Structure 1
Amino acid sequence: MIIEKITKKELTDLQELYRGLCDDEKSLKEMEEVFEGICQNKDYYLLGAKVEGRVVGTLMGIVGFDLAGKYKHFMTIENVIVDESYRGRGICKKLFHAIEGIALERGCRYIYLVSGETRQIAHQMYKRLGYDCDHVVGFRKYLRD
């Protein structure tokens, strides 16, 4: 297994994985357009765990910049998913190790991890990886469908 950035040719694998995260499936063409924007932004890291040429796990890290406090960068992690048939093999741990290395290289002071309220099994794993549940209340306002 290798952990590296996802390429355009792997978007169909990514599309399949994302079915486990959300119901609003994008067409491959839409996904390619968004992917191009991600690739052009140096603050986005879309990593994949690849087994025999197939993406079986993924996460996205986004570097943010802070003007308050110690003026240190931070990272937000989103869209963490591992194919059900590959869970329990340390894939998520390796993805997190890779993204944490990038966060350190970029000078990030901390990492925010965003996860859906109902993903309790994932939350247990995040705690094992050293992420604390700060009981921060998150708010979201949808501006479009």
Structure 2
Amino acid sequence: MLHSIRKAEEHHLAGLSDLFVEFIDAESNLTAMKKQLDLISTNSDYYIAVACDDKEKVIGTSMAIKCMDLVGNCKPFLVVENVVVAPGYRGMGIGKSLMEAVEEFGLQNDCNYIMLVSGNSWSQAHDFYRSIGYSDEHAGFKKRLIYS
């Protein structure tokens, strides 16, 4: 399957919104998404990757955020969020390409490590992360602050 990975741009928003329905089972607010993408695009600590097929359809995405640290060598770490591949495109290397793109962003930013959180019910995603070198030897916790 031919696909390309690139930095998300405004014309990708509708496709991203469609992907996020699969991810969170709810519609996204395109106006709010545009506002956020405009902000994120000016902040070098963020990278949103999109995977597009040969017809420019958005078929996957991942987001990386560089976080500063005060521990040890004080180098930053990377948080990865919103990793989604459209159902009909899973198992074709798209997720791996997206993760390679965020890992490259982390390397370019001299990050010590990457962390991500994945819901307990996403066992196939967990298998995928393990297959590309991620360890689940640490516990991850998440607390929702806003319910909508």
Shorter chain as normaliser: what TM range?
over 0.9
Residue 77 of structure 1, aligned match among 55, 77, 80: 80
RMSD (CA atoms): 1.3
Deviation, structure 1 residue 99? 1.2
Moved runs in structure 1, 4+ residues, more than 3 A? Answer: none
Percent of pairs identical after alignment? 36
What are the superposed Cα offsets for residues 50-85 of structure 1, whole Å, 9 maximum, x if unpaired?
Answer: 112111010000000101122011100000000111
Which of the numbers 44, 62, 77 marks the counterpart of 2:46? 44
Q: What CA distance in whole angstroms lies between the structure 1 residues aligned with 2:146 and 2:86? A: 30
> In structure 2, what is the equivalent of residue 16 of structure 1?
18
Counterpart Cα distance in 2 of 1:137 and 1:126: 14
Amino acid at match of 1:69: G
SS at match of 1:20: helix
- The structural deviation recorded for 1:113 is 1.5
Q: Which amino acid aligns with 2:103?
A: E
1:98 to 96, 101, 124: 101
What is the TM-score normalised by the length of structure 2?
0.92
Unaligned runs of 5+ in 1: none
* AA in 2 matched with 1:120: S
Q: How many residues end up aligned between the 2 structures?
A: 145
Deviates more, 1:124-133 or 1:23-32: 23-32
Question: 1:1-145 alignment to 2 at 5 Å?
Answer: 1-51=3-53, 52-143=55-146, 145=148
5+ residue gaps, structure 2: none
Superposition deviation, residue 131 in structure 1? 0.2
What amino acid is the match of 1:116? G
CA distance in 1, matches of 2:19, 2:28: 12
Tell me the SS of whatever aligns to 2:97: helix
Give the TM-score of the pair, scaled to structure 1. Answer: 0.94
